[in-house]
Structure 1
Amino acid sequence: MAPTLTAVVTRRDERRVAPRPVGTGWRQRLEIVMFVSPALALMAVFVLWPVISAVRMSFYRWKGFGPMDQWVGLDNYRLVLQDEVFTDAVMHNFTIVVLSILIQLPLGLGLALLLNRRIRGRGLLRTIVFVPYVVAEVIAGVVWFQLLQPQYGVIDTVLTNIGITPPEQGFLGTPELALPTVFVVLTWKYLGLAVLLFLAGLQGVPDELYEAAQLDGASWWQTQRSVAIPLIGPTIRTWAFLSIIGSLQQFDMIWVLTHGGPANRTTTMATYLVEQGTERGNYGIAGAASVLLFVIAFVTAVAYQVVVMRRDTAVQR
């Protein structure tokens, strides 16, 4: 009698699924533990433990010497939140966030669209745009600090030679011009990352879509606006997320250029907590400020993920 269909399928599945050797699961788990343990150990030592120490420090009044035994509870948080310098620093951080989205986004997107075209010297132009991003922040800050020196700096000298009177205290020493000048330097430094990400996104747009748009009579700008830019929307939103978090944590360039001055006009949350801790010895206040910086950045990141990147996350799932 011919075998039934169920019997044939059952025998075929039995031949296909080979029994797994005893101990294979434990061996795989052991390999995973061995490869992951060094990274987890480094994260625990250099990330988790400092975070726990900062939170613990924020509940004490401690000058960095002796035992940490003067408990003050939430008093450090109250002092930080009542400090006008810190509240101004928060506003400076969010000012950099807004300016980054309003200025760096269209500028980086425009450069990416232009550098995506077949033009002579395209590779050299891409390198020139991206080089500032790979330069160390401290080195770039020192170079710009020398260029912006009042009276004797290169920029002041050039402006004087063409008939423009530069600020007497320099661009970094004038309170009204300090933050805009710092933002110009930040744009020069980080614009290359935006261009690189946008170019990578544009490389993924199929050529057939460009050809179809051209056959329909669309101009180059209409093609970019209706085809390319909508398709790289996830890339744009990812860059915006990185820009927002980086702006909230901005420290290196501002510390080198202005040290938070003049008159705290360029102070950020990061420079505030470093100044309180390393220069004034108020480690409890610095710990509270660091916790508040973490909370602000975390809430902003979660809100951005939920409101802006929700569609991208749903598509990936």
Structure 2
Amino acid sequence: MTDMTANAALQGAPARRPKRRFDSKKLFAIALLVVPALALFSIFVLWPLINAFIFSFYKWNGYGPITEFVGVENYDDVITQRHFSTAIRNTIILSVVSLLIQLPLALWVALALYQKAWFVSIFRTIFFVPYMLADVAAGLIWKFVYDGNYGLLPAVGDLTGTELPFVLADRFWVIPAIGLVIVWKYFGFHMMIYIAGLQSIPNEVLEAARLDGVSKWKIMWYVKIPMIRNSIVISVFFAIVGSLQLFDVILPLTGGGPSNSSHTIVSFLYQFGILRMKIGFGGAVSVILFILCVAVTLIYRRLLFTRDPA
């Protein structure tokens, strides 16, 4: 320690930190990692987002120059389109299904299977396999299951002597059918998030609760679940945002039918924007979806992503 630093320390003044030397090797390593990632993000995320925002103010079919400026007419057409309200309603319903059925089921299974054992790992794998399937593959599998003529569901109905409806052709049953697929497909992902949180709980805490005579139910409710709060917060966030972006399962399963009654926001965008060559209309839908996602993220972060008090 130099005399100046020692005197400053004795007098209670903060000592000056030594200046860091410019390290060209570290700067090169950072640039080597950041620049490609930033370039990919700009090309595949930022640039399409900017284009969608620009297209939303024009009437354009995807060919030729973009010249017909229509202002907010596309946004007005989206809001007044009768099937858009159906897509919003379906998205909300599937979000509620995820929050009230999928996540509690995932938490219940995680509480039963979080202990480390070889036979437990087998069950975890079985429950996680649906998530590993591609969304399109899952949609095709369940389309066969629900098929009213040759599917598994009518076969079960024949065995039990029950006449089951053609669920994918019924406006009432199609959304519950999609909800079942969503729960089956994604609950294993949330289960693994909860298992990771449960395995991080110190054994000393659980042992202390058992020695105090606390019942298993109270340990689960007052010890385990509060201690995996962060895992639950992240899981709920993924469920909500995933419901807003739901598309890959809908397209092969129902295609938005019957009579456009099973559209989500993204499948509505695909059907009425891209397939019908109304790029400006589709751009307006994508901007609305982007605003919804950002709003949900900001509100959720404001409400739940808070640091625990020291």
2:139 partner SS: helix
| Distance in 2 between residues matched to 1:52 and 1:285, nearest whole Å | 15
1:24-43 correspondence runs (5 A): 24-43=22-41
> Structure 1 vs Structure 2: percent identity of aligned residues?
37
Give the equivalent residue in structure 1 for 2:235.
Answer: 239
Task: Judge conservation of contact 2:98–2:182 (CA < 8 Å) in 1.
Answer: no
Distance, in Å, in 2 between the alignment partners of 1:202 and 1:5 is 48
Q: Deviations over 1:71-108 (max 9, x none)?
A: 00100000101112112211111111111111112111
Amino acid at match of 1:124: I
Gaps of 5+ in 2: 11-16
Distance (whole Å) between structure 2 residues aligned to residue 40 and residue 238 of structure 1: 25
Change (3 A) 1:106 1:5: closer
Instruction: Write the letter of the residue equivalent to 2:236.
Output: A
Change (3 A) 1:19 1:70: closer
2:35 counterpart SS class: helix
SS of the residue corresponding to residue 66 of structure 2 reads coil
CA contact (8 A) 1:175 1:265 kept: yes
What secondary structure, in the 3-state scheme, does the structure 2 residue paired with 1:71 have? coil
Aligned length: 302
1:182 pairs, out of 178, 181, 191, with: 178
Q: What does the per-residue CA deviation read over 1:121-153, in whole Å, with 9 as the maximum and x for residues that have no partner?
A: 211101001111011111111111111110211
Q: 1:12-71 deviations in whole A, cap 9, x for unaligned?
A: xxxxx98865xx344433332222111111111111110011011101101111111010
SS in 1 for 2:226: helix
Q: CA deviation at 1:276?
A: 1.9
How far, CA to CA, are the matches of 2:57 and 2:219 in structure 1? 57
Q: Are 2:65 and 1:72 aligned? A: no
Judging changes above 3 Å, is the alpha-carbon distance between structure 1 residues 316 and 266 closer, same or farther for their aligned structure 2 residues?
Answer: farther
Contact 2:197 2:228 in 1 (8 A): yes
Deviations 1:274-316 (A, max 9, x none): 112332111110110010011111111111111122x3xx239
Taking the aligned partners of 2:245 and 2:8, their CA distance within structure 1 comes to 64
Task: Give the 3 Å change call, closer, same or farther, for CA 19–296 of structure 1 in structure 2.
Answer: closer
Q: 1:4/1:46 Cα in 2 relative to 1: closer, same or farther (>3 Å)? A: closer
Q: Is residue 227 of structure 1 aligned with residue 223 of structure 2?
A: yes
Q: Per the alignment, in what secondary structure is the counterpart of residue 169 of structure 2? A: coil
Q: Under a length normalisation based on structure 2, what TM-score does the superposition of the two structures give?
A: 0.91
CA contact (8 A) 1:251 1:268 kept: yes
Alignment of 1:101-250 (within 5 A): 101-117=99-115, 121-167=119-165, 170-250=166-246
* Pairwise CA distance, 1:6: 3.4
State how far apart, in whole Å, the 2-side matches of 1:316 and 1:37 are: 37
What is the aligned partner in structure 2 of residue 6 from structure 1? 6
1:315 is matched with 308
- Counterpart for residue 14 of structure 1: none
TM-score by length of 1: 0.89
1:59·1:76 contact (CA, 8 Å) conserved in 2? Answer: yes
Query: 1:137 and 1:267 mapped to 2: Cα distance?
Result: 16
- Say which is worse superposed, 238-247 or 154-163, in terms of deviation: 154-163
Instruction: Please state how far the C-alpha of 1:262 moved relative to its aligned partner.
Output: 0.9
1:117 deviates by 4.2
259, 268, 279: which is aligned to 1:263?
Answer: 259
2:115–2:199 Cα contact (<8 Å) kept: no
Q: Which runs of 5+ in 1 are unaligned?
A: 11-16
Determine the structure 2 residue equivalent to 1:280. 276
1:138 & 1:316 partners in 2: Cα distance? 44
Is the CA contact 1:276–1:283 (under 8 Å) kept in the aligned structure 2? Answer: no
